[in-house]
Amino acid sequence: MKVNVLFFAQHRRVAGMSETSLEVANGSSVRHVAELLTQQFSLELRGTMIAINDTYASPETILEPNDTLALIPPVSGGSSDDIFIVTDKPLQLEVLHQHLLHAEWGGQAMFTGSTRSPNKGEIIVHLEYEAYPSFCIAEMQRIATEARAHWELGKVVLVHRTGTVMPAEISIFIGAASAHRKACLEAVPWMLDEAKKRLPVWKLEITATGQRWVEGSQSAPTL
């Protein structure tokens, strides 16, 4: 049977491609396919999370014909009115803030994160962000849904940049509105922590002397 494979960040660079198709035996597990990919592309997959059709999965999951398997290195559903965006365009903070304003919502809380330089003693020329957009959107929706299980929220806005982000330029926006301030003030830092752990986004630091991947984390079973 055929399975489709997506590569991201360092895996994409080592493999020399962003996606491929692979013929494997019926009933093959993710772990078996990972072993084949390791041999074919000389990949180092220890600590890699995996997703099947935009949902995190276990290495022991059995693949079905035409499944899409994503190899996810450690990463540095809400209301229908919520906004979830992955974009390579600069973030327009005034526009995003406007989405949180409504007569019924007396409180709005927002977090923005920007490129820091220097970092660890080195001048950062810029960051290169890479993401798995469809999975990011799905995971943003899940984070918003989980937040609503703990807090009464109005609208939720989660936005992440991709591509080149310069020092002092905004790379992430997380905002929430609520009838009273307590709910949104508590929900936004929680969603930020979850986004940092769970969104398949990777950061390559371009420094004055070279480049390095920012160390990430894993929030799902790994190979």
Secondary structure class of 183 (helix, strand, coil):
helix
Give the integer Cα–Cα distance in Å for 5 and 156: 32
User: Domain boundary residue among 72, 96, 115?
Assistant: 72
Per residue in 158-180, pLDDT (tens digit) is 999 999 999 999 999 999 999 99
Q: To the nearest 10°, report the CA torsion of 175, 206, 47, 146.
A: 0
Q: Answer yes or no: is 219 within a domain.
A: no
How sure is the predictor about 76, in pLDDT bands with cuts at 50, 70 and 90? low
User: Domain boundary residue among 72, 101, 118?
Assistant: 72
47 and 99 share one domain: no
Q: Is the pLDDT of residue 111 over 70?
A: yes
38 and 59 share one domain: yes
Asked if 132 contacts 70 with a C-beta cutoff of 8 angstroms, the reply is yes
The single-letter DSSP state of residue 58 is: -
45 and 146 share one domain: no
160 and 59 share one domain: no
User: Domain boundary residue among 46, 72, 98?
Assistant: 72
CATH number at residue 201: 3.90.1170.40
Query: Looking at the 3D structure of the chain, how many domains does it have?
Result: 2
Q: Is the pLDDT of residue 77 over 50?
A: no
Q: Answer yes or no: is 157 within a domain.
A: yes
Structural domain of 186: 83-213
105 and 11 share one domain: no
Residues 6+ apart with CB under 8 A from 149: none
Q: Is the pLDDT of residue 79 over 60?
A: no
113 and 164 share one domain: yes
**pLDDT > 70 in the chain, percent:** 97
